[in-house]
């Protein structure tokens, strides 16, 4: 049995020390070392005779210096013995400067937006409580949304493979103003969050601290509906009189009724758990195309060998469809710079691009093996992949 509490761990060959917390044998969880922000993946494995104190041996994956390492540990009395098994994989695209950052900076946010690794449930719960504490302290009302709402209503838990926490607020409701939102953003930054603001159809903040990303959408109380990413129409009446629920030992607000919000967001099968790579098509397929005004960007579609694909069908979710020409090019009309979802189809190939940052006038390239390359580059568990397009 692994002793509860914290053990100092020296990692041979890495020249670093951190603290690794164990929650007992039979558990699997991520733990962040407070000392140097190294990430751990810990899970039980079979006894290893080559490890001192083989009973209670654990398999450990360590993200250190942008690389993923693996090894086993065993207990030696009150101490822990670490034996390195060597480099397993590389984290990120070193040539492009992609690293996992320090957990609360721009690099960390970029890493999570591209690879969307799943959160450790315990860490996610603490993060959600801190978000609540910050917003409560400045008097900003918020609702659980998207995957966080889905987990709360369907599972009464954080979804194990979820990659961020999701909340939303309605400006113009319950006295919420732009000034209140600005005050909240300042409060988050003072608490150590890195906050990135996106001004699209509504105000969105992507915030990260301790490797947990929070998405905060701020809609306006205008008209009778809001467009929830990626262009799902949600009636405002579901959001203006939210329901209180008990979740993780706290009281939170959710759309009312939450079941209708989740049906509109995720489709009729929202009660069936689906992982990244499974749920996205359900979300985008039910979104109707609308006429949009704006300016075009250019997209080129290539197959896995880098050859242009003619007659590929490109759907800009919620905004129309286009077909590539003989050289693989097409144009998409964008209302403005923002995050968009796309679906690309050609013979034998279908890919949902769920999180792409596009702007009018931009030129982008999609390559059919982009998702495979991204997974290989991540070197660990990924979620819904983002930013698979490259600039031409």
Q: Under a CB-based contact definition with an 8 Å cutoff, are residues 239 and 143 in contact?
A: yes
**Helix (H) or strand (E) segment spanning residue 216:** strand 212-220
- Tokens representing residue 22 in the block: 């164990």
Which residues contact residue 199 at a Cβ distance below 8 angstroms, ignoring those fewer than 6 apart?
none
pLDDT at 51: 30
Q: How far is the CA of 380 from the CAs of 90, 118, 233, 374, in angstroms? A: 9, 10, 34, 10
Query: Quick one: pLDDT at residue 99?
Result: 58
**Half-sphere exposure of residue 64, counting CA atoms within 13 Å on the CB side?**
23
What tokens does 274 get?
């689906």
Q: pLDDT at position 273, please?
A: 96
Are 42 and 22 in contact by the 8 Å Cβ rule? The answer is yes
Three-class SS of residue 208? strand
φ/ψ of residue 148, rounded to 5: -70, -40
Please say whether the beta carbons of 21 and 32 come within 8 A: no
Distance between CA atoms of 177 and 100, rounded to whole angstroms? 34
> Rounded CA gap, 17 and 39, in Å?
12
Q: Which residues, 6+ apart, have CB-to-CB distance to 44 below 8 Å?
A: 25, 26, 27, 28, 57, 58, 59
Rounded to 5 degrees, φ, ψ at 331 are -120, 145
Q: How would you classify the pairing of strands 79-90 and 67-76?
A: antiparallel
Alpha carbon distance 150, 334 (integer Å): 30
CATH number of 106-273: 3.30.460.40
Q: How many residues does the chain have?
A: 392
The answer to whether 9 and 18 are in contact (CB under 8 A) is yes
pTM: 0.74
Q: How far apart are CA 7 and CA 194, in angstroms?
A: 30
Q: How many CA atoms lie within 13 A of 161 on its CB side?
A: 13
Distance CA 79, CA 21 (A): 13
Structure tokens at 273: 């758990």
Q: Pick one of 2.60.40.1170, 1.10.1060.10, 2.60.40.1120, 2.30.38.10 as the CATH number of 295-391.
A: 2.60.40.1120
Q: Report residue 215: phi and psi, to 5°.
A: -100, 125
Which parts of the chain register pLDDT below 50?
1-98
Alpha-carbon distance 270 to 150, whole Å? 8
Task: Yes or no: say if 58 and 48 are a contact pair by the CB < 8 Å rule.
Answer: no
Q: What is the pLDDT of residue 14?
A: 29
What is the C-alpha to C-alpha distance for residues 298 and 381, in angstroms, rounded to an integer? 32
């Amino acid at each position: 049995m692994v002793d509860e509490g914290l053990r100092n761990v020296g990692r041979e060959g890495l020249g670093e020390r951190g603290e690794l917390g164990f929650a007992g044998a039979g558990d699997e969880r991520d733990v962040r070392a407070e000392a140097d922000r190294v990430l751990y993946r810990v899970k039980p494995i079979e006894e290893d005779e080559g490890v001192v104190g083989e009973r209670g041996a654990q398999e450990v994956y360590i993200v250190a210096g942008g690389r993923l390492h693996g090894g086993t540990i065993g207990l030696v009395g009150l101490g822990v013995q670490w034996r390195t098994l060597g480099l397993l994989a590389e984290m990120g695209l070193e040539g492009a400067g992609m690293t996992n950052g320090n957990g609360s900076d721009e690099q960390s946010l970029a890493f999570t937006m591209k690879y969307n690794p799943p959160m450790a449930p315990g860490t996610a719960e603490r993060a959600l409580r801190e978000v609540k504490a910050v917003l409560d302290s400045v008097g900003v009302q918020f609702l659980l949304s998207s995957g966080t709402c889905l987990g709360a209503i369907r599972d009464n838990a954080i979804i194990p493979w979820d990659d961020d926490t999701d909340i939303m607020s309605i400006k113009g409701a319950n006295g919420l103003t732009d000034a209140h939102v600005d005050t909240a953003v300042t409060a988050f930054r003072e608490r150590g969050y890195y906050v990135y603001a996106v001004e699209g159809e509504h105000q969105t903040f992507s915030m990260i601290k301790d490797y947990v990303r929070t998405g905060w959408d701020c809609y306006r109380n205008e008209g009778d509906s809001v467009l929830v990413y990626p262009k799902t129409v949600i009636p405002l009446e579901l959001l203006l009189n939210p329901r209180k629920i008990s979740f993780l030992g706290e009281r939170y607000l959710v759309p009312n009724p939450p079941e209708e919000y989740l049906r509109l967001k995720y489709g009729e099968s929202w009660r069936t758990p689906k992982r990244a790579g499974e749920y996205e098509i359900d979300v985008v397929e039910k979104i109707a195309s609308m006429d949009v005004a704006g300016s075009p960007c250019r997209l080129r579609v290539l197959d896995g060998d880098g050859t242009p694909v003619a007659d590929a069908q490109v759907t800009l979710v919620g905004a129309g469809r286009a077909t590539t020409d003989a050289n693989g090019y097409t144009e998409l009309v964008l209302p403005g710079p923002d995050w968009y979802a796309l679906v690309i189809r050609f013979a034998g190939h279908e890919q949902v691009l769920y999180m792409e940052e596009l702007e009018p006038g931009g030129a982008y390239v999609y390559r059919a093996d982009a998702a495979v390359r991204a997974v290989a580059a991540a070197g660990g568990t990924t979620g819904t992949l983002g930013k698979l397009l490259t600039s031409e």
